[in-house]
Amino acid sequence: MIEMLSAIWAQQHWPGRLIALEGFDGAGKSTQIEFLKQRLMGLGHDVVLTRQPSDWYRQSELVRSFLDNGGTPETVRALALFAAADRIRHCSEVIAPALARGATVISDRYVFSSVAFFWDRGLDPEFILAINAGIPRPDCAIYLDIEAHLVRERLRARDGDNLKHEENSIDTINRVMNNFKKLAPELHVVPAQAEREEVSRQVWRRVEPAISPERRVKAAS
């Protein structure tokens, strides 16, 4: 685990809950987020679904060009700063207000993705964490772990030959996945190659204690 990780979180405690799901595209995040949303709503939670990065980042021509073709170290650094600005803005405008009113927020990706990807792109992970300082700490953060070759098979089935340049390399996918796993125990690693119902049960095992009223009382004390 990166020792600096615990130092980036905001000190404020909100009445709501924040759950983050991480994983390479094709790992099954969308399916598990939907399962989780339905289960939480069934328990009476006000559920807010969101994702990072936001469209402000995703729609940038610089971002799209890098994802398609790669870029220089200077471009990587600029994108890391852009991603951090996008995350801080998103947390301020979307996540923190939802937490303040007591909602349960499920985020498709969070700061862990920036660390895993930009670390592989050549940046110091402590720099990545430093520029993301002050964001809410998730009550539960989960990484869906799946073998790299299965990820690429799923992506090819979905996108054909229109893969992003990082998705074309099994070695790159493996390195990024290993970076995610280095963020444990802050990030719970859940094997995601089983049937989706079993994966859902494993996800819920991590989420349920994190959202319990007893834990919220202890966190606020």
Q: In tens digits, what is the pLDDT along the chain, a chain of 221 residues? A: 677 788 899 999 999 999 999 999 889 999 999 999 999 999 999 999 999 999 999 999 999 999 999 999 999 999 999 999 999 999 999 999 999 999 999 999 999 999 999 999 999 999 999 999 999 999 999 999 999 888 888 888 887 777 788 888 899 999 999 999 999 999 999 999 999 999 999 999 999 999 987 655 444 43
Q: Where are the domains of the chain?
A: 16-220
How buried is residue 63: exposed, middle or buried, by Cβ count under 10 Å (0-12/13-18/19+)? buried
Cα separation values, 5 from 8, 112, 134, Å: 6, 10, 11
Q: Is the pTM of this model over 0.95?
A: no
> What superfamily would CATH give domain 16-220?
P-loop containing nucleotide triphosphate hydrolases (3.40.50.300)
Is residue 99 a contact partner of residue 17, using CB atoms and an 8 Å limit?
Answer: yes
Residue with tokens 């920036």: 114
